[in-house]
Amino acid sequence: MHRRKFLQQTAMAGAGVMVAKSGFSRLTKFDDFPVVRIPAGQRKFRSDAVEALITEVNQKIGNKEIAWLFNNCFPNTLDTTVDYSLIGGKPDTFVITGDIDAMWLRDSTAQVTPYLPLCKKDKKLQQMIEGVIRRQNKCIIIDPYANAFYKDDSKVSEWKKTDHTDMKPGVHERKWEIDSLCYPIRLAYNFWKDTGDTAPFDEHWKEAMTLVVKTFKEQQRVDGRGPYSFTRETSFATDSVPLGGFGYPGKPNGLICSMFRPSDDATIFPYLIPSNYFAVKSLGQLAEMWEKIGKDADKAKEARDLAKEVYVALQQVTVMHPKYGKIFPFEVNGYGSINLMDDANVPSLLGLPYLEAVFPNNATYLNTRRFILSEDNPFFFKGTVAEGVGSPHTGLNMIWHIGISMRGLTSTDTKEMAECLEMLRSTHAGTGFMHESFDPSAPIKFTRKWFAWSNTLFGEYIWKIYREHPDLLKAPAPAVAATPPSKQKSRWKIF
Protein backbone atom coordinates (compact mmCIF):
# COMPACT_ATOMS: atom_id res chain seq x y z
CA MET A 1 0.00 0.00 0.00
CA HIS A 2 1.26 3.50 -0.81
CA ARG A 3 2.25 5.62 2.17
CA ARG A 4 -0.12 8.45 1.16
CA LYS A 5 -3.15 6.14 1.06
CA PHE A 6 -2.10 4.59 4.37
CA LEU A 7 -1.83 7.99 6.02
CA GLN A 8 -5.19 9.08 4.63
CA GLN A 9 -6.96 6.00 5.97
CA THR A 10 -5.39 6.14 9.40
CA ALA A 11 -5.95 9.89 9.61
CA MET A 12 -9.65 9.27 9.10
CA ALA A 13 -9.57 6.72 11.89
CA GLY A 14 -7.78 9.14 14.20
CA ALA A 15 -10.16 11.95 13.39
CA GLY A 16 -13.02 9.94 14.75
CA VAL A 17 -14.63 8.72 11.52
CA MET A 18 -13.96 5.22 12.82
CA VAL A 19 -14.87 5.81 16.41
CA ALA A 20 -14.70 2.25 17.64
CA LYS A 21 -12.25 2.01 20.50
CA SER A 22 -10.57 -0.92 18.75
CA GLY A 23 -9.09 1.42 16.10
CA PHE A 24 -8.92 1.33 12.32
CA SER A 25 -7.75 -2.23 11.61
CA ARG A 26 -11.17 -3.71 12.34
CA LEU A 27 -12.45 -1.93 9.23
CA THR A 28 -9.32 -1.82 7.10
CA LYS A 29 -7.12 -4.85 6.49
CA PHE A 30 -3.47 -4.19 5.77
CA ASP A 31 -1.34 -6.72 3.94
CA ASP A 32 1.79 -4.63 4.39
CA PHE A 33 2.94 -1.33 5.84
CA PRO A 34 4.89 1.58 4.39
CA VAL A 35 8.58 2.05 5.11
CA VAL A 36 8.82 4.95 7.56
CA ARG A 37 12.03 4.10 9.40
CA ILE A 38 14.93 6.30 8.32
CA PRO A 39 17.05 4.65 5.57
CA ALA A 40 20.00 2.59 6.79
CA GLY A 41 22.54 4.92 5.21
CA GLN A 42 21.19 7.89 7.17
CA ARG A 43 21.03 6.29 10.61
CA LYS A 44 23.19 7.80 13.33
CA PHE A 45 24.15 4.55 15.07
CA ARG A 46 23.70 0.85 14.39
CA SER A 47 23.49 -1.93 16.97
CA ASP A 48 23.66 -5.51 15.74
CA ALA A 49 21.91 -6.69 18.91
CA VAL A 50 19.04 -4.25 18.44
CA GLU A 51 18.65 -5.24 14.79
CA ALA A 52 18.63 -8.92 15.74
CA LEU A 53 15.91 -8.31 18.31
CA ILE A 54 13.81 -6.39 15.79
CA THR A 55 14.12 -9.29 13.33
CA GLU A 56 13.14 -11.79 16.01
CA VAL A 57 10.09 -9.81 17.08
CA ASN A 58 8.98 -9.27 13.48
CA GLN A 59 9.19 -12.99 12.76
CA LYS A 60 7.57 -14.32 15.92
CA ILE A 61 4.62 -12.12 16.83
CA GLY A 62 1.31 -12.42 15.06
CA ASN A 63 0.21 -8.80 15.28
CA LYS A 64 2.05 -7.42 12.28
CA GLU A 65 1.10 -3.83 12.95
CA ILE A 66 2.66 -4.01 16.40
CA ALA A 67 5.74 -5.63 14.86
CA TRP A 68 5.93 -2.79 12.34
CA LEU A 69 5.60 -0.17 15.08
CA PHE A 70 8.33 -1.91 17.11
CA ASN A 71 10.56 -1.88 14.04
CA ASN A 72 10.09 1.87 13.72
CA CYS A 73 10.05 2.96 17.36
CA PHE A 74 12.48 0.82 19.33
CA PRO A 75 15.59 1.88 17.36
CA ASN A 76 14.46 5.49 16.90
CA THR A 77 16.91 6.86 19.48
CA LEU A 78 19.81 5.09 17.75
CA ASP A 79 18.61 5.96 14.27
CA THR A 80 18.07 9.66 14.77
CA THR A 81 19.44 11.15 17.99
CA VAL A 82 22.86 9.66 18.84
CA ASP A 83 26.11 11.53 18.15
CA TYR A 84 28.86 9.06 19.14
CA SER A 85 32.58 9.74 19.04
CA LEU A 86 35.81 9.21 20.94
CA ILE A 87 37.38 12.07 22.87
CA GLY A 88 40.83 11.38 24.20
CA GLY A 89 40.29 7.73 23.37
CA LYS A 90 37.17 7.52 25.55
CA PRO A 91 33.55 7.21 24.38
CA ASP A 92 31.49 10.39 24.28
CA THR A 93 27.83 10.31 23.27
CA PHE A 94 25.58 13.32 22.86
CA VAL A 95 21.88 12.38 22.59
CA ILE A 96 19.33 14.94 21.46
CA THR A 97 15.72 14.55 22.53
CA GLY A 98 14.39 14.50 18.96
CA ASP A 99 12.99 17.64 17.39
CA ILE A 100 14.92 19.86 19.82
CA ASP A 101 18.67 20.03 19.21
CA ALA A 102 19.70 19.70 22.85
CA MET A 103 20.45 16.92 25.33
CA TRP A 104 18.25 16.56 28.39
CA LEU A 105 19.75 14.61 31.29
CA ARG A 106 16.33 12.99 31.81
CA ASP A 107 15.52 12.18 28.20
CA SER A 108 18.98 10.92 27.27
CA THR A 109 18.85 8.40 30.12
CA ALA A 110 15.31 7.31 29.31
CA GLN A 111 16.17 7.00 25.60
CA VAL A 112 19.08 4.58 26.03
CA THR A 113 18.11 2.64 29.19
CA PRO A 114 15.94 0.09 27.30
CA TYR A 115 19.03 -1.00 25.35
CA LEU A 116 21.07 -1.91 28.44
CA PRO A 117 20.06 -5.62 28.51
CA LEU A 118 21.53 -5.98 25.01
CA CYS A 119 24.97 -4.60 25.86
CA LYS A 120 26.49 -8.00 26.67
CA LYS A 121 25.75 -9.04 23.09
CA ASP A 122 27.00 -5.80 21.54
CA LYS A 123 30.23 -4.18 22.73
CA LYS A 124 29.72 -1.21 20.44
CA LEU A 125 26.31 -0.53 22.02
CA GLN A 126 27.89 -0.79 25.47
CA GLN A 127 30.55 1.76 24.53
CA MET A 128 27.92 4.11 23.15
CA ILE A 129 26.01 4.05 26.45
CA GLU A 130 29.27 4.48 28.36
CA GLY A 131 29.66 7.65 26.30
CA VAL A 132 26.25 8.88 27.46
CA ILE A 133 27.32 8.47 31.09
CA ARG A 134 30.55 10.35 30.46
CA ARG A 135 28.73 13.16 28.66
CA GLN A 136 26.15 13.44 31.45
CA ASN A 137 28.95 13.79 34.00
CA LYS A 138 30.39 16.65 31.96
CA CYS A 139 26.99 18.34 31.87
CA ILE A 140 26.46 18.06 35.63
CA ILE A 141 29.90 19.56 36.24
CA ILE A 142 29.00 22.51 34.01
CA ASP A 143 25.85 23.20 36.03
CA PRO A 144 23.97 20.76 38.29
CA TYR A 145 20.92 23.04 38.17
CA ALA A 146 20.51 22.87 34.39
CA ASN A 147 18.21 20.38 32.70
CA ALA A 148 19.39 20.56 29.06
CA PHE A 149 22.70 21.17 27.31
CA TYR A 150 24.37 21.76 23.95
CA LYS A 151 27.28 19.75 22.62
CA ASP A 152 28.95 22.93 21.40
CA ASP A 153 29.69 25.20 24.37
CA SER A 154 29.79 28.23 22.07
CA LYS A 155 26.17 27.78 20.97
CA VAL A 156 23.95 30.48 22.47
CA SER A 157 20.65 29.33 23.95
CA GLU A 158 17.40 30.67 22.57
CA TRP A 159 16.51 31.40 26.21
CA LYS A 160 19.57 33.57 26.85
CA LYS A 161 17.65 36.82 26.34
CA THR A 162 14.55 35.90 28.31
CA ASP A 163 15.79 33.79 31.23
CA HIS A 164 16.99 35.55 34.36
CA THR A 165 19.27 32.95 35.90
CA ASP A 166 22.95 32.03 35.77
CA MET A 167 23.19 30.74 32.19
CA LYS A 168 26.61 29.16 31.72
CA PRO A 169 28.21 28.31 28.35
CA GLY A 170 26.86 25.04 27.00
CA VAL A 171 23.54 25.27 28.84
CA HIS A 172 20.40 25.13 26.71
CA GLU A 173 17.93 25.53 29.56
CA ARG A 174 18.35 25.96 33.31
CA LYS A 175 15.18 24.65 34.91
CA TRP A 176 15.93 22.99 38.25
CA GLU A 177 14.33 19.55 38.35
CA ILE A 178 15.25 16.87 40.87
CA ASP A 179 14.95 14.12 38.29
CA SER A 180 17.64 15.71 36.11
CA LEU A 181 20.20 14.48 38.65
CA CYS A 182 18.44 11.20 39.43
CA TYR A 183 18.39 9.89 35.88
CA PRO A 184 22.20 9.91 35.37
CA ILE A 185 22.54 7.88 38.58
CA ARG A 186 19.91 5.43 37.31
CA LEU A 187 21.74 5.01 33.99
CA ALA A 188 25.18 4.56 35.59
CA TYR A 189 23.88 2.09 38.18
CA ASN A 190 22.00 -0.09 35.70
CA PHE A 191 24.91 0.08 33.23
CA TRP A 192 27.20 -1.25 35.96
CA LYS A 193 24.74 -3.96 37.01
CA ASP A 194 24.05 -5.12 33.45
CA THR A 195 27.62 -5.03 32.13
CA GLY A 196 29.95 -5.13 35.15
CA ASP A 197 31.88 -2.33 33.43
CA THR A 198 33.30 0.37 35.73
CA ALA A 199 35.22 2.31 33.06
CA PRO A 200 33.07 5.48 33.22
CA PHE A 201 33.38 5.76 37.01
CA ASP A 202 36.40 8.04 36.89
CA GLU A 203 37.30 11.35 38.50
CA HIS A 204 34.68 13.17 36.44
CA TRP A 205 32.01 10.80 37.73
CA LYS A 206 33.17 11.37 41.30
CA GLU A 207 33.09 15.14 40.83
CA ALA A 208 29.63 15.03 39.26
CA MET A 209 28.17 12.77 41.96
CA THR A 210 29.60 14.97 44.69
CA LEU A 211 27.77 17.89 43.07
CA VAL A 212 24.54 15.88 42.97
CA VAL A 213 24.47 15.38 46.73
CA LYS A 214 25.56 18.98 47.36
CA THR A 215 22.74 20.28 45.14
CA PHE A 216 20.11 18.06 46.77
CA LYS A 217 21.16 19.32 50.18
CA GLU A 218 21.06 22.94 49.03
CA GLN A 219 17.54 22.42 47.77
CA GLN A 220 16.32 21.02 51.06
CA ARG A 221 16.51 24.74 51.90
CA VAL A 222 17.12 24.21 55.58
CA ASP A 223 19.41 27.24 55.80
CA GLY A 224 17.89 29.78 53.43
CA ARG A 225 16.66 29.51 49.87
CA GLY A 226 19.88 28.29 48.31
CA PRO A 227 21.74 29.68 45.28
CA TYR A 228 19.23 28.85 42.53
CA SER A 229 16.59 31.21 41.15
CA PHE A 230 14.84 31.38 37.79
CA THR A 231 12.42 33.70 36.03
CA ARG A 232 11.54 33.92 32.34
CA GLU A 233 9.97 36.72 30.38
CA THR A 234 6.93 34.81 29.14
CA SER A 235 3.15 34.83 29.00
CA PHE A 236 3.04 31.20 30.21
CA ALA A 237 2.82 30.92 33.98
CA THR A 238 4.23 27.38 33.85
CA ASP A 239 7.47 28.64 32.30
CA SER A 240 8.55 30.94 35.12
CA VAL A 241 9.00 30.77 38.89
CA PRO A 242 7.18 33.29 41.14
CA LEU A 243 8.45 35.31 44.10
CA GLY A 244 11.72 36.45 42.63
CA GLY A 245 12.47 33.13 40.99
CA PHE A 246 12.56 31.11 44.23
CA GLY A 247 8.97 29.82 44.10
CA TYR A 248 6.28 29.64 46.71
CA PRO A 249 7.65 28.83 50.16
CA GLY A 250 8.00 25.35 51.55
CA LYS A 251 8.38 24.53 55.22
CA PRO A 252 11.71 22.68 55.61
CA ASN A 253 10.98 19.07 56.48
CA GLY A 254 13.72 17.01 54.85
CA LEU A 255 12.20 16.92 51.35
CA ILE A 256 14.03 18.40 48.36
CA CYS A 257 12.55 21.39 46.54
CA SER A 258 12.05 21.16 42.79
CA MET A 259 11.13 24.33 40.95
CA PHE A 260 10.13 22.41 37.84
CA ARG A 261 8.45 19.11 37.01
CA PRO A 262 9.78 16.51 34.54
CA SER A 263 7.51 18.22 32.00
CA ASP A 264 9.69 21.35 32.37
CA ASP A 265 6.60 23.09 33.82
CA ALA A 266 6.94 25.03 37.05
CA THR A 267 5.73 23.33 40.21
CA ILE A 268 2.89 24.85 42.23
CA PHE A 269 4.23 23.61 45.57
CA PRO A 270 7.99 23.01 45.90
CA TYR A 271 7.98 19.44 47.21
CA LEU A 272 7.31 17.30 44.14
CA ILE A 273 6.53 13.88 45.60
CA PRO A 274 7.33 11.49 42.71
CA SER A 275 10.68 13.20 42.21
CA ASN A 276 11.52 12.93 45.91
CA TYR A 277 10.75 9.21 45.80
CA PHE A 278 13.01 8.93 42.78
CA ALA A 279 15.73 10.78 44.71
CA VAL A 280 15.52 8.25 47.55
CA LYS A 281 16.01 5.36 45.13
CA SER A 282 18.82 7.14 43.27
CA LEU A 283 20.70 8.10 46.42
CA GLY A 284 20.57 4.48 47.58
CA GLN A 285 22.05 3.39 44.25
CA LEU A 286 24.69 6.11 44.48
CA ALA A 287 25.68 4.95 47.97
CA GLU A 288 26.20 1.42 46.67
CA MET A 289 28.37 2.70 43.81
CA TRP A 290 30.45 4.84 46.17
CA GLU A 291 31.03 1.77 48.34
CA LYS A 292 31.80 -0.84 45.70
CA ILE A 293 33.28 1.22 42.87
CA GLY A 294 34.44 4.50 44.39
CA LYS A 295 35.72 2.82 47.57
CA ASP A 296 34.66 5.87 49.58
CA ALA A 297 32.76 4.96 52.73
CA ASP A 298 32.22 8.60 53.72
CA LYS A 299 30.60 9.51 50.41
CA ALA A 300 28.46 6.39 50.60
CA LYS A 301 27.29 7.27 54.09
CA GLU A 302 26.50 10.85 53.05
CA ALA A 303 24.31 9.64 50.17
CA ARG A 304 22.59 6.97 52.26
CA ASP A 305 21.94 9.34 55.17
CA LEU A 306 20.35 11.84 52.80
CA ALA A 307 18.20 9.09 51.26
CA LYS A 308 16.96 8.10 54.71
CA GLU A 309 16.21 11.71 55.61
CA VAL A 310 14.09 12.23 52.49
CA TYR A 311 12.41 8.85 52.92
CA VAL A 312 11.38 9.61 56.50
CA ALA A 313 9.94 12.95 55.38
CA LEU A 314 7.96 11.21 52.63
CA GLN A 315 6.18 9.06 55.19
CA GLN A 316 4.48 12.19 56.52
CA VAL A 317 2.92 13.39 53.26
CA THR A 318 0.30 10.78 52.37
CA VAL A 319 -3.28 12.02 52.12
CA MET A 320 -6.51 10.28 53.17
CA HIS A 321 -8.80 10.62 50.16
CA PRO A 322 -12.54 10.18 50.86
CA LYS A 323 -12.96 7.91 47.83
CA TYR A 324 -9.64 6.13 47.34
CA GLY A 325 -8.20 5.93 50.86
CA LYS A 326 -4.58 6.76 51.59
CA ILE A 327 -2.84 8.10 48.47
CA PHE A 328 0.30 9.95 47.48
CA PRO A 329 -0.15 13.66 46.66
CA PHE A 330 1.62 15.12 43.63
CA GLU A 331 2.98 18.22 45.38
CA VAL A 332 2.98 19.62 48.92
CA ASN A 333 4.49 22.64 50.65
CA GLY A 334 4.99 21.41 54.20
CA TYR A 335 2.36 23.82 55.52
CA GLY A 336 -0.59 21.57 54.78
CA SER A 337 -1.28 22.56 51.16
CA ILE A 338 -1.51 19.70 48.66
CA ASN A 339 -1.94 19.24 44.93
CA LEU A 340 -3.79 16.05 43.93
CA MET A 341 -3.09 15.10 40.30
CA ASP A 342 -0.57 13.28 38.18
CA ASP A 343 1.38 14.18 35.05
CA ALA A 344 2.34 11.72 32.32
CA ASN A 345 6.00 12.76 32.44
CA VAL A 346 8.25 10.41 34.42
CA PRO A 347 8.91 10.44 37.34
CA SER A 348 5.19 10.40 37.85
CA LEU A 349 3.16 8.88 40.63
CA LEU A 350 1.98 6.25 38.15
CA GLY A 351 5.55 5.39 37.15
CA LEU A 352 7.02 4.92 40.64
CA PRO A 353 7.24 1.07 40.38
CA TYR A 354 8.93 1.39 36.97
CA LEU A 355 11.66 3.42 38.69
CA GLU A 356 11.69 0.87 41.54
CA ALA A 357 10.93 3.74 43.91
CA VAL A 358 7.95 1.93 45.47
CA PHE A 359 6.90 -1.70 45.37
CA PRO A 360 4.20 -2.42 42.75
CA ASN A 361 1.95 -4.00 45.41
CA ASN A 362 2.29 -1.08 47.83
CA ALA A 363 -1.24 -0.41 49.11
CA THR A 364 -0.87 3.37 48.98
CA TYR A 365 0.45 3.15 45.42
CA LEU A 366 -2.46 0.96 44.33
CA ASN A 367 -4.93 3.44 45.82
CA THR A 368 -3.07 6.27 44.12
CA ARG A 369 -3.10 4.38 40.83
CA ARG A 370 -6.89 4.06 40.97
CA PHE A 371 -7.12 7.81 41.57
CA ILE A 372 -4.68 8.63 38.73
CA LEU A 373 -6.58 6.49 36.22
CA SER A 374 -9.90 8.11 37.01
CA GLU A 375 -11.61 11.36 36.13
CA ASP A 376 -10.90 12.53 39.67
CA ASN A 377 -7.38 13.19 38.39
CA PRO A 378 -7.80 16.56 36.59
CA PHE A 379 -5.29 15.46 33.92
CA PHE A 380 -6.86 12.11 33.04
CA PHE A 381 -8.81 12.33 29.80
CA LYS A 382 -11.14 9.96 27.94
CA GLY A 383 -12.10 9.96 24.29
CA THR A 384 -13.70 7.63 21.76
CA VAL A 385 -10.38 6.01 20.81
CA ALA A 386 -8.24 6.14 23.96
CA GLU A 387 -7.94 7.27 27.55
CA GLY A 388 -4.96 8.23 29.64
CA VAL A 389 -2.95 10.73 31.60
CA GLY A 390 -1.98 14.03 30.05
CA SER A 391 -0.07 17.06 31.28
CA PRO A 392 -0.58 20.78 31.82
CA HIS A 393 2.37 21.08 29.44
CA THR A 394 0.15 20.19 26.46
CA GLY A 395 -3.20 21.45 27.71
CA LEU A 396 -6.57 19.87 28.31
CA ASN A 397 -7.91 16.78 26.55
CA MET A 398 -4.51 15.70 25.25
CA ILE A 399 -3.13 12.40 26.55
CA TRP A 400 0.44 11.12 26.30
CA HIS A 401 1.74 7.99 24.65
CA ILE A 402 4.38 7.88 27.41
CA GLY A 403 1.55 7.75 29.96
CA ILE A 404 -0.12 4.80 28.21
CA SER A 405 3.18 2.94 27.85
CA MET A 406 3.95 3.58 31.52
CA ARG A 407 0.51 2.36 32.54
CA GLY A 408 1.20 -0.88 30.71
CA LEU A 409 4.73 -1.22 32.07
CA THR A 410 3.51 -0.85 35.67
CA SER A 411 0.42 -3.02 35.33
CA THR A 412 0.10 -6.53 36.78
CA ASP A 413 -3.19 -7.17 34.99
CA THR A 414 -2.94 -8.70 31.52
CA LYS A 415 -6.33 -7.29 30.54
CA GLU A 416 -5.08 -3.79 31.28
CA MET A 417 -1.82 -4.51 29.44
CA ALA A 418 -3.79 -5.59 26.38
CA GLU A 419 -5.93 -2.44 26.55
CA CYS A 420 -2.82 -0.27 26.68
CA LEU A 421 -1.37 -2.19 23.75
CA GLU A 422 -4.50 -1.59 21.71
CA MET A 423 -4.61 2.12 22.53
CA LEU A 424 -0.99 2.52 21.46
CA ARG A 425 -1.58 0.55 18.28
CA SER A 426 -4.61 2.55 17.26
CA THR A 427 -3.35 6.09 17.95
CA HIS A 428 -0.13 6.56 15.99
CA ALA A 429 -2.16 8.52 13.40
CA GLY A 430 -0.70 6.54 10.52
CA THR A 431 2.83 7.77 11.16
CA GLY A 432 4.24 4.55 12.54
CA PHE A 433 5.64 6.40 15.54
CA MET A 434 4.55 7.47 19.00
CA HIS A 435 4.08 11.14 19.83
CA GLU A 436 4.11 13.47 22.81
CA SER A 437 0.36 14.03 23.21
CA PHE A 438 -2.76 13.46 21.15
CA ASP A 439 -6.49 14.04 21.21
CA PRO A 440 -8.08 10.82 22.55
CA SER A 441 -10.99 11.14 20.11
CA ALA A 442 -8.93 12.36 17.15
CA PRO A 443 -5.34 11.03 17.33
CA ILE A 444 -4.51 12.78 14.05
CA LYS A 445 -4.25 15.87 16.26
CA PHE A 446 -0.95 15.38 18.06
CA THR A 447 2.16 17.19 19.26
CA ARG A 448 5.82 16.37 18.45
CA LYS A 449 6.11 13.99 15.52
CA TRP A 450 9.73 13.22 16.51
CA PHE A 451 9.97 12.44 20.22
CA ALA A 452 12.54 9.70 20.72
CA TRP A 453 11.79 8.99 24.40
CA SER A 454 8.16 8.18 23.59
CA ASN A 455 9.23 5.88 20.76
CA THR A 456 11.85 3.98 22.73
CA LEU A 457 9.60 3.58 25.78
CA PHE A 458 6.91 2.08 23.54
CA GLY A 459 9.56 -0.33 22.23
CA GLU A 460 10.50 -1.24 25.80
CA TYR A 461 6.86 -2.02 26.55
CA ILE A 462 6.49 -4.25 23.50
CA TRP A 463 9.69 -6.09 24.37
CA LYS A 464 8.43 -6.68 27.90
CA ILE A 465 5.13 -8.03 26.58
CA TYR A 466 7.00 -10.19 24.06
CA ARG A 467 9.07 -11.77 26.85
CA GLU A 468 6.41 -12.12 29.54
CA HIS A 469 3.00 -12.26 27.86
CA PRO A 470 3.52 -13.19 24.17
CA ASP A 471 -0.12 -14.27 23.81
CA LEU A 472 -1.08 -10.59 23.92
CA LEU A 473 0.77 -10.07 20.63
CA LYS A 474 -1.31 -12.52 18.66
CA ALA A 475 -3.63 -11.29 15.95
CA PRO A 476 -6.40 -10.77 16.77
CA ALA A 477 -5.72 -10.20 20.47
CA PRO A 478 -7.29 -12.92 22.64
CA ALA A 479 -9.63 -12.33 25.52
CA VAL A 480 -7.51 -12.09 28.66
CA ALA A 481 -8.06 -12.11 32.39
CA ALA A 482 -6.22 -10.63 35.31
CA THR A 483 -3.09 -12.49 36.39
CA PRO A 484 -0.80 -12.11 39.38
CA PRO A 485 2.39 -10.05 39.01
CA SER A 486 4.87 -11.65 36.64
CA LYS A 487 8.12 -13.05 37.95
CA GLN A 488 10.96 -10.82 36.89
CA LYS A 489 14.46 -9.90 37.89
CA SER A 490 14.33 -7.42 40.74
CA ARG A 491 16.78 -5.07 42.41
CA TRP A 492 14.39 -3.89 45.08
CA LYS A 493 15.78 -2.23 48.14
CA ILE A 494 15.33 1.24 49.51
CA PHE A 495 18.83 2.20 50.59
Measure the CA–CA gap between 445 and 394, rounded to whole angstroms: 12
| Whether pLDDT at 303 is above 50 | yes
- Tens digit of each residue's pLDDT (9 = 90 or more) over 256-273: 999 999 999 999 999 999
Over range 301-307, report the average pLDDT: 98
Strand-pair category, 442-447 with 437-439: antiparallel
- Contact (CB, 8 A) for 342 and 377: yes
Indicate the pairing of strand 163-164 with strand 231-232. antiparallel
* 248 DSSP 8-state letter: S
- Residue 226 binned pLDDT confidence (cut-offs 50, 70, 90): very high
Integer Cα distance of 43 and 58 in angstroms: 20
pLDDT at 100 over 70: yes
| pLDDT at residue 201, as a whole number | 98
Q: Which helix (H) or strand (E) holds 389?
A: strand 387-391
pLDDT per position as a tens digit, 34-63: 999 999 999 999 999 999 999 999 999 999
Give the model's pLDDT for residue 32. Answer: 77
- Residue of 455, 459, 426, 460 whose CA lies nearest to 443: 426
Express each pLDDT in 445-473 by its tens digit: 999 999 999 999 999 999 999 999 999 99
Distance CA 320, CA 166 (A): 41
Look at residue 476 in the predicted model and tell me its pLDDT. 57
Residue 332, H or E segment: strand 331-332
Model pLDDT, residue 461: 98
Above 70 in pLDDT, residue 493? Answer: no
Tens of pLDDT, residues 229-253: 999 999 999 999 999 999 999 999 9
110 pLDDT higher than 60: yes
pLDDT average, residue stretch 263-286: 98
- 285: left (phi > 0), else alpha (psi -120 to 50), else beta? alpha
Average pLDDT over residues 373-402: 97
Beta-carbon count within 10 A of 59 CB: 8
Q: Is the pTM of this model over 0.85?
A: yes
CA angle 90, 96, 101 (to 5 degrees): 120
Q: What is the pLDDT confidence band of residue 31, given thresholds at 50, 70 and 90?
A: low
Specify the pLDDT at position 24: 36
